[in-house]
């Protein structure tokens, strides 16, 4: 099987279908569970999907349905997928695979949902308290049998942890290594309640990686749109990755904002580390954490966005012309994206090119 690559910027838009889930995993960022019943209203979904499909004349290709557990309300999932398919969008779905009670049943279910073009199946020590691995194995088998591309997502507080290695070894019996994605748990959302149990390692060096997840904005049932489906939804305050609300602003305007959001694209280009370095250079190091969770860019990003003084500095930085030019050229050079150059009018060669790196 070929390696699964993330779609380019904004070719993929997420829609959180439901907060309901039959599991209530200790690490869940959005605190989904059996007692959560907020879900997208079908009329809202109809309007939003039309707007997503119409944006820049079919620029967005994929609608990623997430939750909660999207399969927990099959009627709603089917209806939303049909709307997406009618609008010409491909559909990907995130799931914990609880529906894999048997191989045959799982395959029958997937065949009844022909709009699914991609599946992301989550399993790890947290999910396995609720969803036995046999079900996930059946779901993976059915996914392969149905010819649906997929990856398996495994999170852990430490990649050396024996239970993580056990889960990964189990998954490797069913799937190639390139079909596995891993992430680091950190104390946000429901995981903030198990902080003392998490065994991640700490370092005084911010993680170096850039953020790929911020390429896909995500719409929530209440109409808010975030720059990623990540931990930032746990923040109550306004912050640069909260792109707007569809109750007040059109989808087009919000997606246009994402295209020109310099902080969001700086995270995509350089990760939180660049912003942390800039904060230190600006004499604001006192607002930064002294330690970071090894390998977790989301933890570093969350630390930045949860600090009021840093948020204020980021708001000013987002308007800074020199920074905007660097981000615009960085996108062109590293990501082959010209969106900000065109909108910003940075069409002539500029001295900022010398310092993009």
Per CB under 6 A, residues contacting ligand SF4 are 211, 213-214, 227-228, 230-232, 241, 267, 297-298, 301-302
Inter-axis angle of helices 272-281 and 297-305, nearest 10: 50
Between residues 28 and 297, which has the closer beta carbon with respect to ligand SF4?
A: 297
By beta-carbon proximity to ligand SF4, the closer residue of 102 and 277 is 277
User: For ligand SF4, which is the closer residue by CB, 225 or 298?
Assistant: 298
Report, in Å, the least distance between residue 219 CB and ligand SF4: 15
- Residues in CB range of 25: below 8 A, 6 or more apart: 32, 126, 127, 129, 130, 190
In the bound complex, what is the minimum distance in angstroms from residue 305's beta carbon to ligand SF4?
7
Tokens of 34: 């059996």
How would you classify the pairing of strands 242-245 and 224-226?
A: antiparallel
Query: For ligand SF4, which is the closer residue by CB, 240 or 339?
Result: 240
Q: Residue 356: which of 340, 333, 339 has the closest Cα?
A: 333
Q: Which of 269, 280, 135 is nearest to 204 (CA)?
A: 280
Q: Is residue 326 within a helix (H) or strand (E), and if so which, with residue range?
A: helix 321-335
Minimum distance between the CB of residue 207 and ligand SF4, rounded to whole angstroms?
Answer: 9
Give 97 or 227: the residue with its C-beta nearer to ligand SF4.
Answer: 227
- CB 353, min distance to ligand SF4, A: 26
CB of 81 to ligand SF4, least distance (A): 25
User: CB of 210: closest distance to ligand SF4 in angstroms?
Assistant: 9
Q: CB of 300: closest distance to ligand SF4 in angstroms?
A: 7
Query: How far does CA 38 lie from the centroid of its chain?
Result: 20
CA–CA distance, 339 with 105 (Å, rounded to integer): 45
Nearer to ligand SF4, 89 or 232 (CB): 232
Min CB(183)–ligand SF4 separation in Å = 10
Nearer to ligand SF4, 258 or 328 (CB): 258
What b-and-e string marks burial along 135-168, b requiring 16 or more CB atoms within 10 Å of the CB?
Answer: bbbbbbebbbebebebbbbbbbbbbeeeebeebb
For residues 51, 255, 181 and 76, what is the CA-based torsion angle, rounded to 10 degrees? Answer: -30
Handedness of CA 327, 242, 219, 247 (dihedral sign): negative
- CA trace torsion 40, 44, 46, 52 (10° rounding): -100
Least Å distance, CB 255 to ligand SF4, is: 16
Alpha carbon distances (Å) from 36 to 24, 68, 147, 245: 10, 9, 33, 21
User: Which residue lies nearer to ligand SF4 by CB, 230 or 244?
Assistant: 230
Q: Which is nearer to ligand SF4, 32 or 218 (CB)?
A: 218
Q: In Å, how far are 30, 42, 69, 75 from 38, measured between CA atoms?
A: 12, 12, 12, 15
Q: Please report how many Cα atoms fall inside a 13 Å half-sphere around the Cα of residue 107, on the Cβ side.
A: 10
């Amino acid at each position: 099987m070929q390696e699964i690559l993330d779609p380019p910027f904004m070719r993929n838009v997420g829609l959180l279908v439901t907060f309901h889930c039959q599991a209530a995993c200790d690490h869940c960022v959005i605190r989904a569970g059996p007692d959560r019943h907020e879900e997208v209203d079908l009329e809202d979904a109809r309007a939003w999907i039309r707007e997503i499909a119409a944006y820049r004349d079919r620029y967005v290709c994929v609608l990623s349905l997430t939750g909660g557990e999207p399969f927990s309300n099959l009627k709603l999932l089917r209806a939303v997928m049909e709307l997406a398919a009618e609008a010409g969008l491909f559909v990907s779905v995130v799931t914990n695979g609880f529906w894999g009670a048997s191989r045959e049943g799982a395959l029958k279910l997937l065949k009844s949902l022909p709009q699914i073009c991609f599946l992301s199946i989550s399993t790890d020590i947290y999910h396995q308290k609720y969803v036995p691995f046999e079900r996930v194995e059946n779901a993976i088998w059915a996914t392969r049998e149905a010819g649906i591309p997929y990856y398996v997502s495994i999170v852990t507080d430490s990649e050396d942890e024996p239970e993580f290695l056990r889960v990964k070894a189990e998954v490797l019996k069913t799937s190639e290594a390139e079909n596995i994605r891993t992430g680091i748990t950190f104390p946000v959302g429901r995981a903030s309640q198990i902080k003392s149990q998490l065994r991640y390692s700490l370092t005084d060096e911010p993680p170096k990686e850039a953020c790929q997840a911020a390429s896909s904005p995500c719409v929530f049932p209440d109409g808010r749109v975030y720059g990623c489906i990540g931990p930032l939804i746990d923040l109550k305050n306004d912050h640069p990755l909260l792109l707007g609300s569809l109750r007040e602003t059109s989808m087009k305007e919000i997606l246009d904002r994402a295209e020109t959001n310099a902080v969001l694209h700086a995270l995509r280009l350089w990760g939180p580390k660049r912003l942390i370095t800039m904060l230190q250079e600006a004499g604001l190091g006192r607002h930064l954490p002294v330690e970071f969770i090894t390998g977790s860019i989301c933890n570093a990003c969350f630390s930045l966005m949860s600090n009021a003084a840093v948020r204020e500095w980021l708001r000013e930085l987002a308007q800074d012309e020199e920074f905007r030019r660097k981000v615009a050229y960085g996108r062109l050079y590293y990501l082959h994206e010209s969106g900000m150059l065109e909108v910003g009018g940075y069409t002539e060669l500029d001295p900022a090119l010398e310092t993009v790196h």
